[in-house]
Each structure stands twice: as C-alpha cells, then as structure tokens.
C-alpha cells in the first residue's frame, strides 16, 4: 500500500504575492505603489507564479523520493510482518474428552470471486478442556462467601447478589476443571422482571481466577440481559486460568461482579435470581499467524565464494523463528543447512548446522465447525513507518 502523498508546501500564488509585498514594506518602505500596474509588482507576480509551479510539482514527488525524504529525517519502514489474529474454534457439540488442536492447524477466510482465501496457522497447541458446573457461591461486599450449591441442586430461587445489590457483590461459579484459552457457555435460568438495568448495558463484569488474580473474561454474548431472563452467557476464559480454593471448595472459578454504574447507567433495584445453572466448554481460542510458505525456490547458480548474495523471488517474513533453509549439493545427495535462526541477522560468517530433514508442510486441518477470527487483521500487514 502506497503512502499518502503529503503537501510539503501548501502555499499558493496569492500567498507568495502577499508575503512578498509585506517583505517590501519592511525592506523598501520608499516603494509605496503596490498596484498591479507597477512594473515591480508585475515582476513579483511572475516570480510567485514560478514558485507556485515548483510547489505544485514538489507536492507530487514520486513515492521513491518521498521515502528518501523520510530516510533523511530518520524515519524508516518496518519490515514486512505476518498478520496475526485470535481465532476461536467452536465445537459442534460438547465433548467428554479433551480436544487437542496441534500447532500449525490451518484456517482460512472465505474465498470470493475477487479475493483469494487468506490462510492462517495456529502458533501454539490448543487444548479444549471439557468442564461442568460443580459449585455456586455468593459473596456480598465485605462479607464472607456463602456456599449455595445445595440450594441450586434443589431448584430453589437463589439471589445472585444481596437483596439491594451493591458494587462489589459477586456470584462465583466453580468449574470442574481449569479451562484456559477456552470458550465456556453458562446456561442460567434467571427469573426476575423489572430489576431496573438496561439489558444491553448491565453493570456487571465477568472474571476468571488466574495465576495473577482475577482477570476479565471477554463476553462473546449474553442472552440473559444482565441476569434478567433465562439464557446463556458465553465467555472467553483468559490464559492462566487455574484451579483454586474458595469457600473451602477447589474449582476453576469464574465470577460475575457488580460494578459501579456509569453516568446515566441504570442500576439494579433488586437482585436477580438463579434457579438452575449449567456450564460446558463450547470451543477454544488460539493465536494464529498468516501462513504462506514458499517451497523449492530457485536461488540461481553459486560461485562458491564466501559472502555471495543470491536474489530471492519471495521476500522472507521476519518473525520469531523463521530459519532460512538452503540446499547444497554434496556428492550425489542433497543436504539441508540452517543458516541462522533469524534471517534478518544472516551474514557470511554465520555458523551452519546440518538438519536431518526438511520441515514438512503444515497439513490442512479443519476438524471443527465454524472457525471465526476475533480480529480485524485478516491479511498480511504492509510496511509501516516508525
């Protein structure tokens, strides 16, 4: 993507003329006739017209010159980098066993008549861990926790918060397992009418207990309208979610906490209730990187001299660990060489390490339904000025 051409000088013909006349008043006060009939003013307008043409051309310099100007003032382009996005793999149905997605699992955007599909590959292994709801605990502000699991099993209506909810009141849900990087669905049977909140903006925040304390969960959807009607809440659990003990029970804890209302935000007049609740894992989220690997690229003929440079048809993308692999003929076979662990740092004096085999291509793996990207970045990012 070309950089937008800036106006290096935004002055025009009349501004040049006015500036010259003001300068004349300072340097030659005896020159009092500034009308267009004066020969000196005619000369000023001629020079102003020429300056206007120069500025017009200056503001249309080629992009190469523009980049050269940026380089002169110390502004350089970032190298090309691979686009990254968080992708959620949704399960077609809850599973009883852990579902494992290996590193390199590929997903793609929708291919259209005008655009090719953009392929992304996962950067780390993803484990979609099954879970269910084991405990329900409530905690009012400044009071100890109260285990209400038995009442939930018996189907009683439970107050999620105090009768007159206050900021800091919590409802804690204990899962049977820690589910980091997973999407968890909570099916809640909430039955309260007229609690006073706006279902589109309830004063609630969902959090998960991690190694670093309570961390916010991203709410994919809230069908309960702030615990105001039966529905489900789908949460993206952050990394670091661990088993912990609260109220004498060990579980993977999630909590719904009442927050201070914003200006003009309706607040609870009475506490919502829950009659039944279930929890299960519906997917997992993994970071992905734009995957476009070039294989078997011809580099040309080598002279065998140290420090030789060969032209690549495809510019390699500099990342965390993209080794540049070269093949060299050794007797009757081929040997793979890893030049350096980072292409940008390669040089003629680098140590070469023999690899046993060439890296295999990442297999196309789409075993789960509806992979969706939760990031606006769906294409390789262009060079950026810094």
Q: Is 90 exceeded by the pLDDT of residue 208?
A: yes
pLDDT-derived band at 326, boundaries 50, 70, 90: low
> 345-382: per-residue pLDDT in tens?
444 444 333 333 333 333 333 332 333 434 333 333 33
Question: What's the confidence (pLDDT) of residue 173?
Answer: 94
Residue 306 confidence class, pLDDT cut points 50, 70, 90: low
pLDDT above 80 (res 48): yes
Residue 317 has pLDDT above 70, yes or no: no
- pLDDT for residue 367: 30
| Residue 137 φ then ψ, to 5° | -130, 140
Q: Which residue has the tokens 């066993």?
A: 97
Torsions phi, psi for 214 (to 5 deg): -70, 125
Which residues lie below 8 Å from residue 252, measured CB to CB, with a gap of 6+?
Answer: 131, 174, 175, 176, 177, 178, 179, 208, 209, 241, 242, 243, 244
Q: Does residue 343 carry a pLDDT above 70? A: no
DSSP state of 334: E
**Greatest distance between any 2 Cα atoms in the chain:** 103
Q: What is the pLDDT of residue 83?
A: 83
Residue 106 to residue 321: CA distance in whole angstroms? 18
pLDDT above 90 covers what percent of the chain?
32
pLDDT, residue 238, reads 94
255-289 pLDDT tens trace: 999 999 988 888 988 888 898 899 999 999 999 88
pLDDT at 278: 93
234 has a pLDDT exceeding 60: yes
253 pLDDT band, cuts 50/70/90, is very high
At residue 184's C-alpha, the angle toward residues 183 and 187, to 5°, is 145
| Per-residue model confidence (pLDDT) at position 381 | 38
In contact, 208 and 215? CB cutoff 8 Å: yes
CB-based contact 173:280 (threshold 8 Å)? no
Tell me: the pLDDT tens digits for 156-174? Answer: 888 889 888 899 999 999 9
Cβ–Cβ under 8 Å, residues 231 and 222: yes
Report long-range pairs for 20-29 (Cβ below 8 Å, ≥24 apart). Answer: 20/44, 20/47, 20/48
| Token pair in block for residue 348 | 């003629």
pLDDT digits (tens, 9 = 90+) for 114-158: 888 888 888 889 999 999 999 999 998 878 888 999 988 888 888
CA dihedral 215, 217, 218, 219 (to 10 degrees): -150
54 phi/psi in degrees, rounded to 5: -65, -45
Lowest mean pLDDT among 5-14, 211-220, 309-318, 364-373: 364-373
Average pLDDT, the chain: 77
Q: In 3-state terms, the chain is what percent helix, strand and coil (to 5)?
A: 15, 30, 55
- Per-residue pLDDT band for 77 (boundaries 50, 70, 90) equals confident
| Amino acid 244: pLDDT | 92
- End-to-end C-alpha distance for the chain, whole angstroms: 16
Q: Does the pLDDT of residue 200 top 70, yes or no?
A: yes
Q: Give the residue, 325 or 270, on which the prediction is more confident.
A: 270
Sorted by where each begins, the domain ranges of the chain are 13-72, 78-293+361-386, 295-360
| pLDDT-based confidence at residue 187 (cuts at 50, 70, 90) | very high
Residue 207 confidence (pLDDT): 96
Those residues with Cβ within 8 angstroms of residue 250's Cβ, 6 or more apart along the chain or in another chain: 243, 244
DSSP letters along 129-151, please? ----EEEEEEE-TTS--EE-HHH
d(CA 239, CA 105): 19
> CA-to-CA distance for 191 and 43, rounded, in angstroms?
86
pLDDT attached to residue 192 = 66
Residue found by looking up tokens 């609870």 in the block: 268
Mean pLDDT of all residues in 84-100: 91
Q: Whose CA is closest to 152, among 172, 167, 168, 182?
A: 172
Average pLDDT over residues 317-329: 49
Q: How far apart are CA 178 and CA 131, in angstroms?
A: 8
Residue 339 has pLDDT above 80, yes or no: no
Pairwise CA distance, residues 74 & 69, whole Å: 9
Q: Is the pLDDT of residue 325 over 60?
A: no
């Amino acid at each position: 993507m070309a950089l937008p051409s800036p106006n290096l000088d935004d002055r025009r013909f009349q501004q040049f003329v006015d500036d010259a006349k003001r300068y004349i008043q300072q340097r030659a006060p005896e020159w009092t006739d500034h009308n267009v009939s004066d020969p000196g003013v005619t000369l000023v307008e001629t020079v102003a017209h020429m300056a206007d043409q120069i500025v017009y051309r200056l503001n249309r310099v080629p992009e190469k010159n523009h980049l050269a100007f940026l380089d002169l003032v110390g502004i350089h382009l970032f190298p090309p980098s691979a686009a990254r996005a968080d992708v959620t793999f949704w399960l077609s149905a809850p599973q009883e066993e852990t579902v494992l997605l290996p590193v390199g699992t590929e997903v793609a955007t929708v291919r259209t008549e005008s655009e090719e599909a953009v392929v992304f590959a996962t950067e780390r292994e993803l484990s979609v861990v099954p879970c269910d709801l084991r405990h329900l605990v409530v905690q009012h502000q400044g009071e100890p926790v109260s285990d209400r699991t038995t009442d939930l099993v018996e189907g009683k209506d439970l107050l999620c918060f105090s009768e007159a909810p206050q900021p800091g009141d919590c409802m804690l849900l204990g899962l049977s397992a820690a589910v980091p990087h997973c999407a968890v669905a909570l099916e809640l049977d909430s039955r309260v009418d007229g609690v006073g909140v706006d279902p589109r903006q309830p004063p609630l925040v969902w959090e998960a207990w991690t190694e670093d304390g309570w961390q916010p969960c991203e709410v994919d959807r809230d069908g309960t309208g702030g615990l105001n009607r039966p529905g489900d809440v789908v949460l993206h659990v952050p990394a670091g979610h661990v088993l912990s003990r609260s109220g004498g029970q060990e579980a993977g804890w999630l909590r719904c906490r009442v927050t201070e209302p914003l200006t003009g935000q309706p607040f609870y007049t009475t506490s919502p209730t829950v009659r039944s609740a279930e929890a299960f894992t519906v997917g997992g989220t993994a970071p992905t990187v734009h995957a476009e690997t070039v294989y078997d690229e011809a580099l040309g003929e080598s002279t065998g001299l140290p420090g030789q440079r060969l032209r690549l048809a495809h510019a390699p993308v500099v990342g965390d660990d993209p080794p540049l692999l070269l093949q060299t003929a050794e007797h009757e076979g081929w040997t793979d060489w890893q030049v350096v662990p980072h292409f940008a740092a390669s040089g003629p004096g680098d140590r070469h390490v023999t690899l046993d085999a060439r890296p295999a291509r990442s297999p196309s793996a789409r075993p789960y339904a509806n992979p969706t990207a939760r990031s606006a970045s769906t294409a390789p990012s262009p060079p950026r000025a810094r």
